């Protein structure tokens, strides 16, 4: 493990040789039309600004969407990718985010069809949870379905290095 | 009266010469500072990135470019810092799938501006090197994040980290360090143009291959830059072929005579 990388209330202590980004989703300057029931209340087309973190056992590209599709495309068989995406504060503790705290990763959680965009030989898993009053999705991709046993161990160790503090 | 006028004219002439000398000296100082990355132009509100106390072990040649000094190559460290937008970033150098070219740049020097635009145009390192590029500026304490954000190409990872400058002993931008994923730093140096950088990288890669997996830090910085290892390899190859230093065949004109195989081939 190395020293932690921290921003936006997320602290990550990655394994040695891993790349980390903790970004804040940029607010789109274009404002969405006001909802009929909320006259006068405007919001950016991109929604509110919430952070997302990416961890990779490989070189992460400069441009990445929230769930890192551009990074996943570069993965090799022994690579692991982790995305931690925060949702709006109002989502915390709703049924979808009822789970408390970061999940413990199990091999049986992973499946090729659980990927945001299915890729040959890869598998993924995602969890929704609330931590410190904040709603998150944890999305993990393993570079190989066949090697998932060892890769889950690596991913699990990486996720244990994530700390979330109240905002 | 005439004497007084002559004396006054002489005084004015003397003062004029003095002012001209001072202006020239001032211009030379400004030019030298500019080459070192300090911009004192009117309206420039960006930071002055050159700091004598931060020069580390580098020297600066007469062109204002940093010159690596003899000694072991720096040990590759993972980069930690922030993006120009203020986000946190850690870039791994060892264990990556490909070599990484660290481009230490600043938002203040004109030479760096050319490299920023070339990085944007090429979306990475010069062709043939196969390295990804990470642009590194000093941290927000020494550089303006908004100025760096304007220059940073969207396809190139840009990190602001004074710690990285210190880790790699970089004092003056532009400066480039090539890090092999397995062997660490395999070359470093300064360049004034994109083509110079390409040449520098080719030599570093060639020397890195020649060094063939030596332990990190085993190569001297001067060995890498001067191509001493490559020269020794060529000498060994020639010796195995029976050609030793001073051999007459080394001094023959390869194009002498018109009946050589190459010439004959072209004439047919």
Among A85-99, B138-152, B182-196, name the one with the lowest average pLDDT.
B182-196
**Segment B115-141 mean pLDDT:** 84
For residues A66 and A23, give the distance between their C-alpha atoms in angstroms, rounded to a whole number: 9
Q: Do the Cβ atoms of B95 and B181 come closer than 8 Å?
A: yes
Cβ <8 Å between A18 and B85: no
**Segment A31-60 mean pLDDT:** 74
Sign of CA dihedral B166, B187, B185, B94: positive
Check whether B117 has a pLDDT greater than 70.
Answer: yes
Q: Best of B81, B88, B157, B159 to disrupt the A interface by mutation (most A CBs within 10 Å)?
A: B88
For residue range B187-227, list pLDDT tens digits in order. Answer: 888 888 888 888 877 777 776 654 444 434 444 555 555 55
Q: Best of A59, A70, A143 to disrupt the B interface by mutation (most B CBs within 10 Å)?
A: A59
Considering only CB atoms, A59 lies closest to which of B85, B89, B96, namely B96
Cβ <8 Å between A19 and B90: yes
pLDDT, residue B53, reads 34
Q: What b/e readout covers A59-83, taking b as 16+ CB neighbours within 10 angstroms? A: bbbbebebbbeebbebbeeebbbbb
Is the ipTM higher than 0.85? The answer is no
pLDDT, residue A111, reads 94
For residues B20 and B17, give the distance between their C-alpha atoms in angstroms, rounded to a whole number: 5
**Segment A13-19 mean pLDDT:** 90
pLDDT, residue B45, reads 45
Phi first, then psi, for residue A141 (nearest 5°) are -120, 135
Q: Which of B126, B194, A15, B115 is nearest to B136 (CA)?
A: B115
The chain A residue lying nearest B94, using CA atoms, is: A17
Sheet of strand B132-137, all strands in order from the earlier edge strand to the far edge: A123-131, A134-142, A80-86, A51-56, A19-24, B88-91, B79-82, B157-160, B132-137, B100-104, B175-180, B184-189
Q: pLDDT class for B52, splitting at 50, 70, 90?
A: very low
Considering only CB atoms, A24 lies closest to which of B87, B94, B95, namely B87
Residues forming beta bridges with residue A24, ordered by sequence position: A51
**Segment B12-34 mean pLDDT:** 82
Among B7-16, B108-117, B199-208, name the one with the lowest average pLDDT.
B199-208
Q: Which helix (H) or strand (E) holds B162?
A: helix B162-167
Among A140-144, B73-77, B85-89, name the one with the lowest average pLDDT.
B73-77
- Considering only CB atoms, which chain B residues are within 8 Å of A58? 96-97
Q: Which residue has the higher pLDDT, B205 or B142?
A: B142
B102: left (phi over 0), alpha (psi -120 to 50) or beta: beta
A77 near B CB under 8 A: no
3-class DSSP state of B250 = helix
pLDDT, residue B97, reads 73
Q: pLDDT class for A92, splitting at 50, 70, 90?
A: very high
Radius of gyration from C-alpha coordinates of chain B? 25
A88 near B CB under 8 A: no
| Closest CA–CA distance from residue A68 to any residue of chain B (Å) | 15
Q: pLDDT class for A89, splitting at 50, 70, 90?
A: confident
Query: Percent of chain A having pLDDT more than 90?
Result: 69
* Average predicted confidence (pLDDT) for chain A: 88
Interface size, chain A vs chain B, as Cβ–Cβ contacts under 8 Å = 68
The chain A residue lying nearest B90, using CA atoms, is: A20
- Considering only CB atoms, which chain A residues are within 8 Å of B95? 16-17, 57
Alpha-helical runs (H) found in B68-132? 110-122
**Segment B245-267 mean pLDDT:** 58
Q: pLDDT class for A49, splitting at 50, 70, 90?
A: confident
Cβ <8 Å between B87 and A7: yes
- Considering only CB atoms, which chain B residues are within 8 Å of A26? 85
Q: Which residue has the higher pLDDT, B129 or B169?
A: B169
Which residues, 6 or more positions from B85, have their beta carbon under 8 angstroms from its beta carbon?
Answer: A23, A24, A26, B145, B149
**Segment B164-177 mean pLDDT:** 87
Query: Percent of chain B having pLDDT more than 90?
Result: 18
Paired sense of beta strands B79-82 and A134-142, if any: unpaired
- Considering only CB atoms, which chain B residues are within 8 Å of A62? 153-158
Q: Can you list the positions of beta strands (E) in chain B? A: 59-60, 66-67, 79-82, 88-91, 100-104, 132-137, 157-160, 175-180, 184-189
Considering only CB atoms, A62 lies closest to which of B78, B97, B155, namely B155
Q: Interface of chain B against chain A, CB under 8 Å?
A: 78, 80, 82-83, 85-92, 94-98, 100, 132, 153-158
**Segment A104-117 mean pLDDT:** 92
Burial class (CB in 10 A: 0-12, 13-18, 19+), B27: exposed
pTM of the full structure: 0.68
Q: Best of A19, A49, A76, A79 to disrupt the B interface by mutation (most B CBs within 10 Å)?
A: A19
3-class DSSP state of A114 = helix
Considering only CB atoms, B96 lies closest to which of A3, A6, A58, namely A58
């Amino acid at each position: 493990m190395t020293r932690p990388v921290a921003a936006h209330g997320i602290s990550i202590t990655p394994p040695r040789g891993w790349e980390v980004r903790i970004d804040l989703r940029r607010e789109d300057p274009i404002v969405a039309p006001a909802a009929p029931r909320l006259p006068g209340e405007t919001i950016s087309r991109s929604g509110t600004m919430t952070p997302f973190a990416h961890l990779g056992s490989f070189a992460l590209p400069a441009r990445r969407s929230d769930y890192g599709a551009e990074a996943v495309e570069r993965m090799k068989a022994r690579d692991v990718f982790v995305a931690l995406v925060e949702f709006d504060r109002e989502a915390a503790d709703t049924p979808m985010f009822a789970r408390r705290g970061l999940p413990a990763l199990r091999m049986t959680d992973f499946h090729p069809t659980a990927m945001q965009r299915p890729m040959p030989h890869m598998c993924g898993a995602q969890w929704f949870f609330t931590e410190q009053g904040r709603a998150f999705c944890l999305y993990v991709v393993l570079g190989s379905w066949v090697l998932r046993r060892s890769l889950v161990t690596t991913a699990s160790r990486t996720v244990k290095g994530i700390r979330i503090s109240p905002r | 009266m005439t004497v007084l006028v002559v004396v006054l004219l002489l005084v004015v002439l003397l003062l004029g010469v003095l002012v001209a000398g001072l202006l020239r000296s001032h211009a030379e100082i400004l030019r030298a500072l500019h080459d070192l990355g300090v911009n004192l132009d009117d309206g420039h509100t960006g930071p002055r990135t050159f700091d004598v106390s931060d020069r580390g072990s580098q020297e600066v040649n007469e062109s204002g470019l940093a010159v690596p000094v003899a000694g072991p190559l720096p040990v590759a460290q993972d980069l930690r810092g922030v993006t120009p937008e203020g986000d946190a970033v850690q870039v791994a150098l060892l264990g990556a799938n490909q070599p990484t070219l660290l481009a230490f740049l600043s938002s203040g020097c004109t030479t760096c501006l050319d490299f920023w635009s070339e990085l944007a145009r090429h979306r990475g390192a010069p062709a043939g090197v196969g390295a990804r590029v990470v642009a590194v500026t000093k941290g927000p304490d020494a550089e303006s994040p908004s100025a760096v954000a304007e220059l940073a190409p969207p396809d190139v990872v840009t990190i602001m980290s004074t710690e990285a400058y210190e880790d790699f002993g970089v004092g003056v931008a532009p400066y480039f360090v090539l890090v092999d994923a397995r062997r660490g730093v395999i070359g470093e140096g300064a360049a004034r143009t994109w083509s110079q950088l390409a040449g520098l990288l080719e030599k570093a890669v060639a020397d890195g291959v020649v060094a063939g997996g030596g332990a990190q830090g085993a190569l001297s910085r001067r060995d890498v830059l001067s191509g001493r290892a490559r020269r020794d390899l060529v000498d060994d190859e020639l010796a195995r072929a029976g050609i030793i230093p001073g051999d007459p065949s080394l001094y023959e004109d390869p194009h002498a005579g018109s009946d050589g195989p190459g010439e004959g081939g072209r004439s047919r």
